[in-house]
Amino acid sequence: MIQRFYLPLISFLLLVFQGMAMSLLPSSLVYSELLITPHWVLIILMLMAVFFDTDDTYYSILYAVIFGLLIDMVYTSMLGVYMFTYGIVIYIVHGFKKMLHGNFLVAMLLSIMGLCITEVFLYTIYFFSKVTQMPWESFLLDRLIPTVIANLLFFFLVYPLLKSRMEKWSETIQRN
Amino acid sequence: MSSFTRKKRLILVLVSFILLVSLVGFSIRERSELTLPEQFIHDTVGWVQTIFNQPVQFVQGTIDNIQDIKQTYEQNQVLKSRLSQYKSIMQENQMLKNENEELRSNLDLQESLRDYNPIDATVIARSSERWFSQMIVNRGETHGVKSGMAVITGEGMVGKVQTTDKFHSTVRLLSGFNRNNRISAWVWKKEGDPIHGLIQGYDEETDKLLLKEIEYDAKIKEGQAVISSGKGGVFPAGLRIGEITKVEIDQYGLTQTAYVEPAANLYDINHVMIVDRSMPTYNMEEQMEEEKE
């Protein structure tokens, strides 16, 4: 029963650490010309969509909407943007997962795709609501590519830790 | 069956899009107060961050201490040589202060725009979204923080309080200022009256603040200091904002615009002071919004 709460708890802690990392990591790394943005929660959610959810369960999408809204509340002053973006991206990943067999390569490619879509969505919404005035080319070079690479490193870190555990938790929850 | 699911999907996408637009529309205006659920979430996240911050701060502090000890000898030599100078300056300062107080009491001016009570706060997190220049500090309504107050470090101003919760508040950094967050400022000159201007926004390309509405014939040079004037209603006077790096005539040729380099480092901030000015405050921005409504 308690296994139900592991993943929300992990996601919540990562949401908290995301902001702390920005103030604690050396500023020369975090605040360089490159606008690296942590999407740790999203990585966990995408792993969830691939390894935790079956074709008929939609936990990852539910959590995507909830944690997207939490990120909106805590770290930006505009509500709904992350909620919508994360929700849609996890929905897409969940849809792809039905067609593909879940292994390392599939999870990695889906993560790269998910990160790219997320960043493009965020850029589009923030551009039209005038939060950023960054031109498209510099967004691509300064934000999209560094962010995808940095978050992929995080993916490599958590994949071995969480993959088999998620599958196990998923099984026990379904048996109950 | 498939057409049914397709319809369902379409409705889902449309509904979520409407939800997005209405939520963004609700929250995009400058809000000085948050809704209760938002405050609750902020405080909860803030507490968890504080718990994890403690050991990290401890380790950081220890490393800093060790580095300090290494440099102590050299610093000591330099400081000793300066000590005698400071003594005379201190005496002079004291004399001037006394004189100032006397003159003030003669004039029945008890409080000045320069006086303020600092509220010490620690930065516990920053926005993970780089396009929002904001950070969370561990002081809130219960400690006397109100939205609109100035936030400073030892070096100068870093931003202002955007919203407050019961025990935490969100600070908007200077780099996130726009037309709606103005600071009434003075360009300080050695002789003559200070020149008045308004800080209106931040230029992302050059990383400089924009000081606008300066009179056309005012003579401004690079390197002059910019301080807050206290005429905006909330900030006290005399807070250091930055230094002028460039001056140009604005597009209509009626006023001048100066680029101001912020005095404080906006990226490496750990401890801040929230400035509660002693004179009664008068929030013009809120007033204007209320009138509009």
Q: What is the pLDDT of residues A28-55, one digit of tens each?
A: 777 777 888 899 999 999 999 999 888 8
Instruction: Give the 3-state secondary structure of residue B254.
Output: coil
Does residue A22 sit at the B interface (CB-CB below 8 Å)? yes
Is the confidence at residue B144, as pLDDT, over 80? yes
Structure tokens at B28: 């995009």
Is the confidence at residue B31, as pLDDT, over 50? yes
Nearest C-alpha of chain B: how many angstroms from A59?
17
* pLDDT of B109: 66
For residue A75, give the nearest of B24, B129, B267 by CB distance.
B129
Q: Which helix (H) or strand (E) holds B168?
A: none
Q: What is the pLDDT of residues B210-220, one digit of tens each?
A: 888 888 877 88
Instruction: Say how far apart CA B109 and CA B94 lie, in whole Å.
Output: 19
- Write out chain A residues lying below 8 Å of B26, CB-based: 79
Is the confidence at residue B76, as pLDDT, over 80? yes
* Most confidently modeled range among A15-24, A63-72, B22-31, B56-65: A63-72
Residue ranges in chain A modelled with pLDDT below 50: none
Pairing of strands B208-215, B255-262: antiparallel
For domain B116-278, is the CATH number 1.10.540.10? no
Phi first, then psi, for residue B173 (nearest 5°) are -75, 160
Instruction: Say how far apart CA B154 and CA B171 lie, in whole Å.
Output: 17
Instruction: Return the percentage of chain A with pLDDT > 90, whole number.
Output: 44
* pLDDT of B114: 77
Q: Which helix (H) or strand (E) holds A102?
A: none
User: In chain A, which residue's Cα lies nearest the Cα of B9?
Assistant: A91
Is the confidence at residue B2, as pLDDT, over 70? no
> Residue ranges of the domains in chain A?
38-162
A-B CB pairs within 8 A amount to 112
Instruction: Return the percentage of chain B with pLDDT > 70, whole number.
Output: 93
User: In chain A, which residue's Cα lies nearest the Cα of B35?
Assistant: A73
Q: Using the 8-state DSSP alphabet, how is residue A109 labeled?
A: H
Structure tokens at B213: 């509405």
| pLDDT averaged over every residue in chain B | 83
Instruction: Say how far apart CA A104 and CA A93 lie, in whole Å.
Output: 14
Instruction: Give the 3-state secondary structure of residue B214.
Output: strand
* pLDDT of B283: 60
Instruction: Give the 3-state secondary structure of residue B177.
Output: coil
Instruction: Give the 3-state secondary structure of residue B192.
Output: coil
**If we measure between CA atoms, which residue out of B234, B81, B126, B233 comes closest to residue A38?**
B126
Instruction: Say how far apart CA A51 and CA A168 lie, in whole Å.
Output: 9
- Determine, for residues A73 and B42 on separate chains, whether the beta-carbon distance falls below 8 Å: yes
Question: A51 CB contacts (<8 Å, ≥6 apart)?
Answer: A102, A107, A162, A163, A166, A167, A170
Is the confidence at residue B292, as pLDDT, over 90? no
- Write out chain A residues lying below 8 Å of B16, CB-based: 84, 87-88
* pLDDT of B216: 80
**If we measure between CA atoms, which residue out of A162, A145, A148 comes closest to residue A109?**
A148
pTM: 0.83
Higher pLDDT, B249 or B109: B249
**If we measure between CA atoms, which residue out of B165, B157, B180 comes closest to residue B274?**
B157
Bridge partners, B202 (sequence order): B209
* pLDDT of B293: 46
* pLDDT of B285: 53
HSE of B116 in the Cβ direction (CA atoms, 13 Å)?
Answer: 24
Q: Which of B130, B133, B270 to mutate to test the interface with A (most CBs of A within 10 A)?
A: B130
Does residue A152 sit at the B interface (CB-CB below 8 Å)? no
